[in-house]
Structure 1
Amino acid sequence: MSEDAGSIDAGDGPLESTTLPTGDDLEDVQEGLIAWYEADHREYPWRETDDPYEIHVSEVMSQQTQLARVVDAWEAFLERWPTTEALAGADRSAVVGFWSSHSLGYNNRAKYLHEAATQIEDEFDGAFPETPDGLQELMGVGPYTANAVASFAFNAGDAVVDTNVKRVCYRAFDVPDDDAAFETAANRLMPEGRSRVWNNAIMELGAVACTQRPRCDEAGCPWREHCSAYATGDFSAPDVPTQSAFEGSRRQFRGRIVRTLREYDELALDTLGPRIRVDYTPDGEHGREWLEGLLSDLADDGLVELAESEEETVARLRA
């Protein structure tokens, strides 16, 4: 990451290990992800509509249910109750029966959908609220669902933060495993006024590329050159059982090496060392031998090259 990278504040003070891009780097990250998503993504019918009712139904159905199973149920539900007016006028037992017969999880979700449709008709003159705060007035609509509907129906939401987004932010930009930190980071990454495409895109990235077992190259991840995990080879994450501690890890210092070498054309080892670790001393525990080990790993990964002379060893990023 370049010198534009910065720490964030999640309410508990600055999170120094976070390497969120800013400036031109942020623009590259944003444009790269949107272009990747628009070029190719999984096709779901609710991605082809901006109808808030249809999107609301998809969001409720998708809670803890595989999306492949949701498609048929979503289409059948909307064929039977195509509008909030139709759903509000339905017998609740029929709605619950539909939910149960399609194995969509807790039946209270069906009750909430029915009650929300009734609210829309009785309290909102048949029109959905357009903001996350307004949407949370509907029965059964919490912050996540409200934000998703605001984003996908009205392009007026904040960043959506689900498990996939947390995994992406943790790996790519070293965001700590903290809900407030994830929310802050996700909102800083999102381009203003583009919540619809952005939230779809970053969730898609986590679902098809930055999976628990990452598929960076296979899926053509657009963030590889910016990603700390890709640079270090450590793909631990909050939802990956083999998660390793970040602070003081080889992953942390490998990432610092890559970011430092991006800032400079090349550096001798004893010049590089103090820039990535304040207690670096050539002959110390974390000295030249320790640094050479990290650089050797990065060289094996094709990220760094070393040039040796009689006087010194110089490290640079591979072109």
Structure 2
Amino acid sequence: MTETAFADGEREGVRRALVEWYEADHRSFPWRETTDPYRILVSEVMSQQTQLGRVAEAYREFLAEWPTVEDLAAADRADVVGFWTDHSLGYNNRAKYLHTSANQVVDDFDGAFPETPDALQELHGVGPYTANAVASFAFDRGDAVVDTNVKRVLHRAFSVPDDDGAFEAAANDLMPDGESRVWNNAIMELGGVACGQTPRCDEADCPWREWCDAYASGDFTAPDVPTQPEFEGSRRMFRGRVVKLLREHDELALDTLGHRVRVDYTPDGEFGREWLEGLLADLESDGLVEVTAGSARLQR
């Protein structure tokens, strides 16, 4: 993405649409209700490869046990590691690193967290991503966060190539200056709620539909959404997807429907128009769907 990727004024429209969508309604997590860098660091370390729903309960219990960075620094490391194990939070090294970082903040920084991504990486076990997240959400001084969800969104919406450097450049180019807290929360929310591996564009009222390349083409392939593999029972699954999509959209052109049913749909490919028409013929026989003039709809 470059400065010329959008027409005049379009970039501001993209930014405003996302922030307004996020601020109007978003998932509630306890770490979104604080700017305390200690609490945000705890949430970031806990969230590494762990489902957020499970993290929320552990996060509350951890902070009830060690509510401040000073409390954690004074804790017995074995107790911290034991907590991590009891709550199935992944590698125990993360608990050790978190405990060591707390001691660094207390001993080396007089209890005050560093505020920039570079400075936060001086803490033991805090890498670039975690440092940037803490700088963003605690101090509003971060760069654009680039995680799997953000890559998926940028690839689909603006055709950013599957390259780490390209994703980082595009994310930082799009983020408004000095607004890393709200922006990074918003774009990660978009990837988590509307633009997951199975997209929910209309259902989640995605604010980028008018600009999104994937929404226009129906091709929702992304770096973490590989070509759909064949597996037993898939025909039944795809029939269900057809019915669900037609319930949501009333009527869809066949190729638009095909792209939304499976990411590797191509009209002339193995999973193309002929394959789709076979599914639709089955559904017509069941009295569920009618196909006319290159489009499909549910039977009334």
Same fold by TM (over 0.5)? yes
Match in the other structure for 1:183: 168
Which runs of 5 or more structure 1 residues have no equivalent in the other structure? 1-6, 10-18, 244-299, 302-319
Q: Distance in 2 between matches of 1:191 and 1:166?
A: 18
1:79-98 alignment, distance < 5 Å: 79-98=64-83
SS at match of 2:126: coil
Match in the other structure for 1:26:
11
Q: Select 2:54's aligned residue among 59, 66, 69.
A: 69
CA-to-partner distance for each residue in 1:275-298, whole Å, 9 max, x for gaps? xxxxxxxxxxxxxxxxxxxxxxxx
How do residues 12-51 of structure 1 correspond to structure 2 at under 5 angstroms?
A: 20-21=5-6, 23-51=8-36
User: 1:188-203 counterparts in 2 under 5 A?
Assistant: 188-203=173-188
Q: Compute the RMSD of aligned alpha carbons.
A: 1.6
Q: What is the aligned partner in structure 1 of residue 243 from structure 2?
A: none
* 1:151, distance to aligned residue in structure 2 (A): 0.2
* Greater RCO (Cα-Cα under 8 Å, separation 6 or more): 1
Give the letter for the 1:198 counterpart.
W
Rounded to whole Å, the distance in 1 between the matches of 2:221 and 2:71 is 47
Mapped partners of 2:8, 2:124: distance in 1: 41
User: For 1:225, which of 210, 229, 250 is the aligned residue?
Assistant: 210
Alignment partners' CA distance in 1, 2:33 and 2:169? 28
CA spacing shift, 1:218–1:77, aligned 2, 3 Å: same
Query: 1:87 is aligned with what amino acid?
Result: L
Instruction: Tell me the percent identity.
Output: 72
Distance 2:71 2:220 in 1: 47
What is the distance in 2 between the residues matched to 1:39 and 1:20?
27
- Over 2 Å off, 4+ runs: 19-23
Distance in 1, matches of 2:82 and 2:43, equals: 18
What TM-score do the two structures reach when normalised by structure 2? 0.75
CA contact (8 A) 1:20 1:185 kept: no
Contact kept in structure 1, 2:2 and 2:173, CA below 8 Å? no
> How far apart are residue 21 of structure 1 and its match?
2.6
Q: Secondary structure at the match of 1:226?
A: coil
Offset, 1:20:
3.6
Q: Please report how far the alpha carbon of residue 23 of structure 1 lies from its aligned counterpart in structure 2 after TM superposition.
A: 3.8
How far residue 22 of structure 1 moved from its aligned partner, in angstroms, is 5.6
- In 2: Cα distance, 1:43 partner to 1:163 partner: 20
Could you tell me which residue of structure 1 aligns to residue 133 of structure 2? 148
- SS where residue 215 of structure 1 aligns? coil
Return the alpha-carbon distance in structure 2 between the equivalents of residues 219 and 193 of structure 1.
Answer: 27
Distance 2:38 2:69 in 1: 7
Is 1:134 the counterpart of 2:119? The answer is yes
- CA–CA separation in structure 2 for the residues paired with 1:210 and 1:66: 17
One-letter code aligned to 1:113: L
